[in-house]
Amino acid sequence: MTDAGPAPAGRARLARYAGLVGAVLLAVAGWLGGALPDIPPAGPWRAGDAPWALGCWLLGAALLVGAWWSLRRGAPSTRWAYLTAGLWLVPLLAAPPLGSRDVYSYACQGWAYAAGHDPYEVGVAAAGCPWVESVAPIWRDTPAPYGPFFVLLAALAATLGGGLVGTVVLLRLVALAGVLLAALCLPGLARAAGVPAARAAWLALACPLVGVHLVAGAHNDAVMLGLLLLGLLVLVRLPGKPKALLAAGVLLGLAVTVKATAVVV
């Protein structure tokens, strides 16, 4: 199959704003029936809002995925891809956590460590986290499965956040920082692999999983990804250099201390 090249300007513009509408609808769905901190995990769908929330979620997801997929051959430019991906993130940054309640587990694990407990020995319920009701039941009695670097970041967020909402906001900013770091690394890695930077930026950054899972969900995979890509970029920019190998090793090691799945790289 041949590469048809970047999409025409009209189609690209339509995709940009269709995706934005989709992101707005997903944010609305989150506020209507998402993982809000004051709603028990067992019953997130409030009776009156459930149909509207489900409708907004399905339509928003369809628009976002469709817009992204329609430009799979390539965005008009790397800058255009970055601006569009950033535009789609704006409403998702204003949404409650989407897709899961994992960020509440992060918050409680950070609180537990900051309060002097060992999150690798006790679950957040046993540690006495004041926000435990917002954590999914399956994770309340489970010790932290994440690495020490991320637990330190979560503890810092819990200390500075001053409460659950503030902690979640800071954890989302940490996830956003990971995505921004990945964005900075993508062009160099794409050139090293012989891939058009605009296409790589579009397929990676505008992918709905990035906005919904990594940023809106505030998942620590974003931090892991940013550190991994930076480590790989150091290796391809300075191949065989001892200092580069050391720096890349440190970065990849930090990625593993965020989440052990980074070790597969």
pLDDT in tens, 217-257: 999 999 999 999 999 999 998 887 889 899 999 999 999 99
* Local confidence band at 263 (pLDDT 50, 70, 90 cut-offs): confident
Q: 49 pLDDT exceeds 90?
A: no
- Is the pLDDT confidence value at 61 over 90? yes
Query: Domain locations in the chain?
Result: 9-100+166-264
**Model pLDDT, residue 239:** 83
**Whole-number pLDDT of residue 167:** 97
Residue pointed to by tokens 């799979």: 72
Could you tell me which of 199, 225, 214 has the C-alpha nearest to residue 88? 214
Q: What is the mean pLDDT of residues 19-34?
A: 94
Residue 141 has pLDDT above 50, yes or no: yes
Mean pLDDT, the chain, rounded, equals 91
50 pLDDT more than 80: no
Tell me the per-residue pLDDT of 88-121, one tens digit each, with 9 for 90 and over. Answer: 999 999 999 998 999 999 999 999 999 999 999 9
Residue 52: what pLDDT?
86
What would the DSSP string read from start to end of the chain?
Answer: -----SPPHHHHHHHHHHHHHHHHHHHHHHHHHS--TTS-TT--S-TTTHHHHHHHHHHHHHHHHHHHHHTTT--S-HHHHHHHHHHHHHHHHTSPP-S-SHHHHHHHHHHHHHTT--TTTS-HHHHT-TTGGGS-HHHHTSPP-S-HHHHHHHHHHHHHH-SHHHHHHHHHHHHHHHHHHHHHHHHHHHHHHT--HHHHHHHHHSSHHIIIIIIITT-THHHHHHHHHHHHHHHHHSTT-HHHHHHHHHHHHHHHTT-GGGGG-
Cα–Cα distance, 17 to 25 (Å, whole number):
12
Q: How confident is the model at residue 6 (pLDDT cuts 50, 70, 90)?
A: low
Mean pLDDT, residues 26-45 taken together = 76
Say whether pLDDT at 14 is over 50: yes
Q: State the average pLDDT over residues 164-190.
A: 96
State pTM to two decimals: 0.90
Q: Tell me the C-alpha distance between 111 and 119, whole Å.
A: 9
Model confidence at 2, pLDDT cuts 50, 70, 90, reads very low
Dihedral of CA 71/76/81/83: which sign?
negative
Considering only 34-48, 109-123, 202-216, 236-250, which range has the smallest mean pLDDT?
34-48
Residue 1 has pLDDT above 50, yes or no: no
User: How far is 177 from 69, CA to CA, in rounded Å?
Assistant: 25
Identify whether the C-beta of residue 127 lies closer than 8 Å to the C-beta of residue 108. Answer: yes
